[in-house]
Amino acid sequence: QYLPFVQLPPTSNTRGTVKDNPSFKVDEDVSALKKAIEGLGTTEKTLIEVLTQRSNAQRQLIAQAYEKATGRKLVDDLKGDTHGDFEDVLVALVTPPAVFDCHEVIKGAGTTESILTEIFASKSNKQIKALSEAYMAETGKSVLHDLKGEVSGDYGKALLILAEGKRDESTHVDTAKAKADAKALYEAGEKKWGTDEDKFIDILCHRSIPQLRQTLVEYKEISKKTLQESIESEMSGNLETLLVAVVKCVKNVPAYLAERLFKSMRGAGTTESVLTRIIVSRSEIDLMDIRAEYKKLFGYSLYSQLESEVSGCYGDVLKHLCGQD
């Protein structure tokens, strides 16, 4: 059932940390994994070395060959032989990217809006389309249909627009329109008593990224505040979080994700699910950029933070994927 998604290339692999391994030999990897799993006590080191140093497309070939050789699914054997965060991250690695995203949405619906916010604010139309196709293949239902039952109010309205994956993709910037939108946003928020949320939702969820970048500039001219500051003072709850995430992603997706990683390792305890999701899902897209933004924002490398915050086999996997700056 995963086959249709095997061929989906990552959006662009120039800024990923994980690339196709040039000396990839599927049979050697399969026998190494078999030995690691079937021997006395699982050899975690082998699992880590093989799975973190191959691209997702190569891992799919390994999974197919593994099943042919053993009659068992690689993902089931990994689940049976490992546990906790280590199991979760290995399962994530052998899952096709769109299917992994789809599983995260299923997890996010009904439990935590922050997963949905992060996924739909940071993904391109193409990634959302792949996610939707995987969701349909996995559940037999449309992701929009299921989300409608989970989210409500203005937050739901905004999230569903983003989940359609139909944001304008033109690269042309219309300055006059940016000025008009900035004025409309100012009049819908700062300037009036009470906020016209619909105006914010409409503009932020439909306009192209380059167009919105110009709108942010024009907004600051009129308002003397940034649009993010206005949203933070005018709104609250999930809608505020979502629209702020959209504004941050308009400016710089890797910086937004670097901040999510930072927050997941701050305070009491680490939110491993956030670390796993971002590091695995961006490892073939822009993890190098996320690393660079992390250092710029927080003054030390993501690698060194992982070293001090996450330990054991799980930490080793994340550090392998992240790589040193």
pLDDT (tens digit, 9 = 90+) per residue, 243-290?
Answer: 999 999 999 999 999 999 999 998 767 899 999 999 999 999 999 999
- pLDDT value, residue 13: 57
pLDDT bin (cut points 50, 70, 90) of residue 82 is very high
**Which of 217, 251, 285 finishes a domain?**
251
Task: Measure Cα distances from 41 to 87, 94, 95 in Å.
Answer: 15, 21, 24
| Pair 222, 186: CB distance under 8 Å | yes
| Pair 33, 50: CB distance under 8 Å | yes
11 domain residue, yes or no: no
Give me the number of domains the chain comprises.
4
Mean predicted confidence (pLDDT) in 205-220 = 97
Range name among 9-18, 123-132, 316-325 with the lowest pLDDT average? 9-18
- Match 């939108």 to its residue by tokens: 181
Query: Domain span at residue 220?
Result: 175-251
pTM: 0.92
Spatial distance between the Cα atoms of 291 and 285, rounded to a whole number of angstroms: 12
Task: Measure Cα distances from 185 to 33, 122, 180, 181, 220 in Å.
Answer: 56, 22, 9, 6, 11
Inform me whether the pLDDT recorded for 111 exceeds 90.
no
pLDDT digits (tens, 9 = 90+) for 158-171: 999 999 999 999 99
Mean predicted confidence (pLDDT) in 86-110 = 92
- For the chain, what is the mean pLDDT? 92
- pLDDT value, residue 69: 96
pLDDT bin (cut points 50, 70, 90) of residue 9 is very low
Q: Which residue has the higher pLDDT, 174 or 324?
A: 174
Spatial distance between the Cα atoms of 60 and 75, rounded to a whole number of angstroms: 11
Spatial distance between the Cα atoms of 53 and 59, rounded to a whole number of angstroms: 9
- pLDDT value, residue 110: 62
| Pair 310, 272: CB distance under 8 Å | yes
**Which of 212, 231, 251 finishes a domain?**
251
Provide the CATH number for the domain around residue 292: 1.10.220.10
Q: Are residues 239 and 265 in the same domain?
A: no
Q: Are residues 184 and 247 in the same domain?
A: yes
Mean predicted confidence (pLDDT) in 111-116 = 80
- pLDDT value, residue 41: 72
Q: How far is CA 246 from the centre of its chain?
A: 13
Spatial distance between the Cα atoms of 259 and 321, rounded to a whole number of angstroms: 18
91 domain residue, yes or no: no
**Amino acid in the structure at residue 225:** K
292 domain residue, yes or no: yes
**Which of 145, 164, 183 finishes a domain?**
164
